[in-house]
Amino acid sequence: MKPIDELKLRDIMSRKVLCVSPECRLVNAAQRMGEAWVSSLVVGNGTNFIGILTERDIVRLLRIRGNRQIMVGELMSSPVLTAPDDLDFRSAFALFRLHRVRHLVVVDGQSLAIGLVSASDFRTHLALDVFRNIGCVNGDADRSVSTLASEESLDSALELMMDRQSDDLVRDKLQQEKTRLESQLHLVLEASGLGVWEYDHTNDLTTWSPGLCTMTGYPPGQAPASFEEWIAMIHPVDRPVVLAKASAAMVDHGPLYEAEYRLRKQDGGWLWIAARGRVVRRDMQGNPLCTVGTMQDISARKHTELLLQAQHDLATVLAGEPSREVLLKAILDSALSLPELDGGGVYWLQEDGSYALLFHRGLSDEFISATKHLPKDSLQAGIIREGRMRCSCCEPLTQCVDLELVKQAKLVVEGIRSLVVQPILVDGTAVACLNLASLHVARICGETLSSLLTLTRQFNQALQRQFAQQEASHQRENLQGLFEALNDYLFVLDENGLILSCNAAVTDHLGYGSSLLGKPVWTVHPESVQEEAKKITAEMMAGLRKHCPLPIKKANGQIIYADTRVVKGYWYGKPAIFGISRDVTEQVVQQKALLCSETLLRTILDSTAEGILVVGTCAKVLVTNKGFLNLWRIPEELINEGSDDRFLAYVLDTLSNPKEFICEVQNLYQSDEQRWDTLHLNDGRVIERFTQPIQLDGQRARLWSFIDITERKRMETDLRMSQERLSYALGGANDGIWDWSLETNEVYLSPRWKSMLGYGENELENGYYTWKRLIHPEDRGFFLRYLSDCLQEKTQRFEVEFRMRHKEGHWVDILARAKLACDAEGNPVKPMRLVGTHIDITERKRMENELRESEARFHAIYEQSLLGIAVVSIDEWRFISANPAYCQMLGYTEEELRHKTVADVTHPDDVLTEQEFGGLPQEPPHDFQIDKRHIAKNGEVVWTTVAGAVMFDDAGKPQYRVGMLENITHRRQIEQALTELNDSLEQRVREESAKNREKDHLLIQQSRFAAMGEMIGNIAHQWRQPLNTLGLILANIEDAHNYHELTGEYLAKQVYAGRQLIQKMSTTIDDFRNFFRPHKEVEKFSVTNAIKDAISLVSASFSNNNIDIAFEPCLDVFIMGFSNEFSQVLINLFANAKDAILQNQVAKGKVRVKLNCDGQNVVITIADNGGGIPESIMDKVFEPYFSTKELGTGIGLYMSKMIIENSMDGHISACNQGNGAEFAIRIRVIEPDRV
């Protein structure tokens, strides 16, 4: 078992805590105690304790024969003292004795009860500690000491002493025993927590026991040596009292020295001690020579007393129901009353989440100004929101969880050495926070922090209580507001039915004012029902009734129908009944009207031709009307019989398909579906049926409605056929329909009407406003005037053309037509509805405009044309008209030509030709064009080209001929000259063709020479390394000969290596020779091998220029073409890529060759990172002699394009990709093969 000084409340508490409410019956509480085997119950909930009930309370009640049915709250002991579970044993016991209670409720950090400690628990552990100390003393006692009775003689004593050998031996033994007992005494004192001190008055020398040094933290050699040093260690406030008590104890026969004071420890902190002492040796004059005493650490007790005093002071403040300002000041004062705390402040949570300093103590104005507001996102606000204590000291202890807080610059400047941040929580939210500081202590002791935690729980409860009181106050205000705002009449009655209170609705609306208070409630009812009201009131008081249907009377005598409900409750702590009367006068009137409506509805049901049937879920017929009986032709005897089964069976027999009907009905009764459908009866009639689920008298049922639609179906069929004919006709006409009801102003616009304007069916709202706003502003006025004339019967037909705005913004020409209805004699009737069509005449209008424009253009052309135009008759070819150009061409006036025929102005040799080409055709069209000669008025021959045509009317009958003449006399002369030139033209073409072939040959040769130059450079790169190696071999042979190391074997080895290099160089020559060998025939070759061969030819040059060239084949394909020319194309592209990389000084040049298939084509892409091709010249790279290089020929890419596209029927293209150019070659595949 732990010693007392190591015990906490959690070690000795009973963990079985039961809570009961103060309204619980004592009998029930005692039963719970017996069932749970506990001796006490806590009264309250888990965090709010108002009392405690013990077995002693119950026994005391039974002894006086009290009422066992009383509430627990009337018998419980209060108040309840709570303590944290980490409070030490001695502090808890001091708290226990100070308040003279018999139980402590132990709570955790959340103020929840977790255990109980009783007086017997304290006594048990105190007794065990005493027995343990006694056992230590008895164990150390010497049981070998001889004893002698008082009546024994001196001889016996001497004999006993002789048996013990000698008196010296006895003296030594006694001295040893004294030393041992003193040692044991020190052990007992140390075990009991006491430190021993001794003061030698003669030598002014103080001596402290090791336990006392340990208690105060001083090493044994650094304890105070003189009385003055000792006194200097006492707190200045306590020093005068200690000196006075010490002086009183020094007097001969003076009192025992006893004092409680604070003593400075070695670390600078203060230790509360209880000191006792007595003068143990005096001189002959009675002056003290030596004083011995003890010191005991009572810091825990003092902390507890301070804590209790702070709790008491705070409780005193709380008893007065303080304001929040007073409460927070009291909380701060209570916290600062704890030792080691010099100053601090209270922060309060603001609406924006920040914290504002409300009150402070003991700190400078400059520091307060810098810390009076903590923003929401600040470190300090975040620490507060965590909701737990944070301690930070200059000399940290284990309880210091944040070592950096106290090191902040503004705290250091203020001289703060220790800091405690203690949030105060309400419902888990840190609504306030205590920031407490110490200016003189480098570390805050655990007792102070424990006391602060205990106080904080009380702070939390105090704020929680205040918040709850405020909430209760608000609720009372809300309740009072609701009480006054109710429109219903509210009465509060006592147990005798007398009115205690009423709301404004009673005093004002009923007009009674306060005259009803104290009167029986039945006085508000009419005299005729007051006796019944008394009886109902008595039943309500007895709890037998909660409703009163009687009317009430206003002060002016007006009767109001009311529905009154009552509930029991309390009014100012006394039982009461609350009655709420609602004015139902309107509802009563409505009920009477409803009764009339039901009668009227039944009459209507029976008078309507529609058959109504309501059937319940069990095939129970609930409602029928006469229309149903007549519709189904049910016999009168079956009606009078009243059998639902036979009734429904008869109905089924009249149906053409009863089984399907029954199946559908069963499914409908299992769902909430509404349905419209038709039934066919055996007699050929067609019945329209509607059904929906309903609730009738609290049971589920279905309403069935039946209408004989046989005639309507016939008319619908005729109407549908008529509508189909109309629809076909309108569809063929492609017209839009509009329907305007002049009575309701509703307008229907058909989908075609809207689509003419580019709108979907749901994009335009049907309405007159929609129609009006889409009309062109210039057309809207005459449209509305024309429509008004039609509606005023000034005209029977409405037909107008106007423009409407299309969805896309342009205008559509519309022809609107409508006609007012007429009676049988053809006289117009009062307009009630206007139905018409819209026809899109935009195309017609366009054609009309084009026709007008065409006529205008023709007239302009006719008058201003340089060509001669003439119109002649069909039969005689006589001139009808001729334009100025025609007249000028032949020298006649138009009037002169009207008297002539075409033959009169035609060369005699060409008359027959024109008549043959321009004869009367059998059917249109008929056009002709001839060259002929005309005879001008002055006799000159005019060569013309005549283009003629015959014009026909709509019936296909020829009307006239139109001819156009162009004077070609000058052209005839030129043609004759050209004929002479054409004889020598063929020879010139042959000469130019030969020159072009020579140019192409030169281009090809230049391209090959350029490639050959490139290849020579590649050969040089390929040969450079073998030549270097060959040179080294020759040098090695020379050195071996000079140093006489040349052997036959060595020479043969070096010669073999040289021949291998020469063979490799020869192979390189063969490879390059094969590249330049021309292939005259198309051959099949591997694209992969061709690419690899081309790369091998340039690899050395690329490597020498630090350019990486890589080939990524994913398949191998075969194509038809010239392999060497294909390789020349690849080498050209490789060379261009290398030049671009070198020209742009790219550090790590890269060329990537990829091979892929795209359907039936192979695609070879060659990409580099040389900077790409400028977009401005991208379209010119394949043109001949175009080059961006300083010494470029401009034929490489041109010849590459010629080879790929002309010789191999492929395609080559260029583009920029990433940070370089990419060329793509596309050629048809012969045989693809995956690599």
Cα 575 to Cα 569: distance, rounded to the nearest angstrom? 6
Which residues make beta-bridge pairs with 46? none
Per-residue pLDDT of 971-1005, as tens digits, reads: 887 877 777 777 676 676 667 666 665 665 555 55
Same domain? 958 vs 901: yes
Cα 702 to Cα 668: distance, rounded to the nearest angstrom? 9
Per-residue pLDDT for 857 more than 60?
yes
Token pair for 243: 């000196």
Residue 1206 lies in a domain: yes
Contact predicate 870/883, CB 8 Å: yes
CB-count exposure of residue 791 (10 Å: 0-12, 13-18, 19+) = middle
Same domain? 218 vs 326: no
Per-residue pLDDT for 40 more than 80?
yes
Per-residue pLDDT for 314 more than 50?
yes
Contacts of 437 (CB under 8 A, 6+ apart): 341, 342, 343, 344, 362, 363, 411, 414, 416, 418, 419, 420
Token pair for 728: 């076909």
In this structure, what are the phi and psi dihedrals at residue 86, rounded to the nearest 5 degrees? -95, 10
Residue 720 lies in a domain: no
Cα 758 to Cα 751: distance, rounded to the nearest angstrom? 10
**Domain stops at, among 560, 588, 616:** 588
Cα 391 to Cα 446: distance, rounded to the nearest angstrom? 10
Same domain? 117 vs 207: no
Residue 1090 lies in a domain: yes
* Percent over 70 (pLDDT), the chain: 83
How confident is the model at residue 164, as a pLDDT? Answer: 47
Cα 793 to Cα 787: distance, rounded to the nearest angstrom? 10
Cα 431 to Cα 1067: distance, rounded to the nearest angstrom? 94
Cα 425 to Cα 506: distance, rounded to the nearest angstrom? 45
How confident is the model at residue 138, as a pLDDT? Answer: 44
Residue 718 lies in a domain: no
Per-residue pLDDT of 689-739, as tens digits, reads: 888 888 877 778 888 888 888 888 888 777 777 666 666 655 555 788 888
Same domain? 293 vs 364: no
Residue 1150 maps to which CATH number? Answer: 3.30.565.10
Same domain? 315 vs 365: yes
Per-residue pLDDT for 214 more than 90?
no
Contacts of 1062 (CB under 8 A, 6+ apart): 1026, 1030
Per-residue pLDDT of 815-840, as tens digits, reads: 888 876 555 455 656 677 788 888 88
Per-residue pLDDT of 894-917, as tens digits, reads: 899 988 998 889 988 887 655 555
Which residues make beta-bridge pairs with 881? 871
How confident is the model at residue 792, as a pLDDT? Answer: 79
How confident is the model at residue 806, as a pLDDT? Answer: 92
Token pair for 1186: 């175009």
How does residue 1200 score in pLDDT terms, banded at 50, 70 and 90? confident
Residue 855 lies in a domain: no
DSSP annotation of 681: B
Per-residue pLDDT of 1055-1102, as tens digits, reads: 877 776 676 566 656 555 555 555 557 788 888 888 888 887 777 778
Residue 424 lies in a domain: yes
**Average model confidence (pLDDT) for the chain?**
79
Per-residue pLDDT for 165 more than 50?
no
Cα 134 to Cα 113: distance, rounded to the nearest angstrom? 36
Cα 385 to Cα 382: distance, rounded to the nearest angstrom? 5
Sign of CA dihedral 795, 799, 804, 807: positive
Same domain? 660 vs 771: no
> 961, 880, 953: which is closest to 920 by C-alpha?
961
Per-residue pLDDT for 346 more than 90?
yes
> 91, 120, 95: which is closest to 8 by C-alpha?
91
CB-count exposure of residue 38 (10 Å: 0-12, 13-18, 19+) = middle
Contact predicate 692/719, CB 8 Å: no
Three-state DSSP state, 786: helix
Task: Name the one residue in this structure whose structure tokens are 């502090």.
Answer: 91
Cα 259 to Cα 244: distance, rounded to the nearest angstrom? 10
Same domain? 1021 vs 1142: yes
Which residues make beta-bridge pairs with 812? 804
Three-state DSSP state, 898: coil
Same domain? 564 vs 693: no
Full residue range of the structural domain in which residue 1028 is found: 997-1234
Same domain? 107 vs 69: yes
Give whole-number Cα distances, 79 to 55, 101, 314, in Å. Answer: 17, 9, 15
How does residue 498 score in pLDDT terms, banded at 50, 70 and 90? very high
Same domain? 286 vs 309: no
How does residue 1167 score in pLDDT terms, banded at 50, 70 and 90? very high
Residue 991 lies in a domain: no
Residue 33 maps to which CATH number? Answer: 3.10.580.10
Token pair for 716: 């619908």
Residue 666 maps to which CATH number? Answer: 3.30.450.20
How confident is the model over 504-514, as a mean pLDDT? 86
Same domain? 742 vs 834: yes
How confident is the model at residue 597, as a pLDDT? Answer: 75
How confident is the model at residue 622, as a pLDDT? Answer: 79
**Domain stops at, among 474, 504, 538:** 474
With helix as H, strand as E and coil as C, how does 131-176 read? Answer: HHHHHHHHHHCCCCCCCCCCCCCHHHHHHHHHHCCCHHHHHHHHHH
Distance between first and last Cα of the chain: 86
The number of domains in the chain is: 8
Task: Name the one residue in this structure whose structure tokens are 């030129």.
Answer: 974
How confident is the model at residue 137, as a pLDDT? Answer: 42
Per-residue pLDDT for 1126 more than 80?
yes
Token pair for 191: 């075990």
Cα 540 to Cα 578: distance, rounded to the nearest angstrom? 10
Sign of CA dihedral 782, 786, 789, 794: positive
> 282, 232, 300: which is closest to 449 by C-alpha?
300
SS3 content of the chain, % helix, strand, coil (to 5): 45, 25, 30
Per-residue pLDDT of 741-763, as tens digits, reads: 887 888 888 888 888 899 998 88
Contacts of 360 (CB under 8 A, 6+ apart): 332, 343, 344, 345, 346, 368
Residue 461 maps to which CATH number? Answer: 3.30.450.40
Residue 902 lies in a domain: yes
730 versus 333: the higher-pLDDT residue is 333
**Domain stops at, among 940, 964, 988:** 964
DSSP string, 2-47: --GGG-BHHHH-B----EE-TTSBHHHHHHHHHHHT-SEEEEE-SS
Cα 391 to Cα 402: distance, rounded to the nearest angstrom? 6
Three-state DSSP state, 186: helix
Cα 1065 to Cα 1069: distance, rounded to the nearest angstrom? 6
Distance from chain centroid for Cα 178: 86
DSSP annotation of 508: I
How does residue 887 score in pLDDT terms, banded at 50, 70 and 90? very high
How confident is the model over 559-566, as a mean pLDDT? 89
Same domain? 309 vs 283: no
What single-letter amino acid sits at 660?
E
Around Cβ 787, how many Cβ atoms within 10 Å?
A: 17
How does residue 1220 score in pLDDT terms, banded at 50, 70 and 90? very high
